[in-house]
Amino acid sequence: TDHSLEEAKRCYLCYLKYEIDVDNCIYCRACIEVAPRDCIKLVEGVEINDDGTYGELQETNVWRDTAAIWIDNDECIRCGACYKVCPTRCISISKNEIITQSV
């Protein structure tokens, strides 16, 4: 059915990761304004775990305290609107693959 096909496409898109290159971001907020969900956050810091992965975000609503604009990939629906509207093309999309191994 059409619904099954749409769900399959959505699951395929779940393997896409959106990231903002903060060095090239001009903080114009275009991505925030166009995002259909509240998935692009203003953050003043990001906790880095011992294994090098990202931990908890320290979000802010105060523009002068903003250290970065962050895409929350758990909330992102991967519509591509932020990518299309970015004037500096600082948003990248990468495909993550799950590899299983038997031990």
Cβ atoms of 23 and 80 within 8 Å: the answer is no
| pLDDT tens profile 38-77 | 999 999 988 888 887 778 888 998 888 988 899 998 899 9
Q: CA-CA distance, 95 to 18, in Å (whole number)?
A: 9
Nearest to 77 by CA among 25, 16, 31: 16
Quick one: pLDDT at residue 48? 82
Quick one: pLDDT at residue 52? 79
Give the chain's domains with CATH numbers: 2-95 (3.30.70.20)
Highest mean pLDDT among 10-19, 26-35, 56-65: 26-35
pTM above 0.75, yes or no: no
For residue 9, the SS3 value is helix
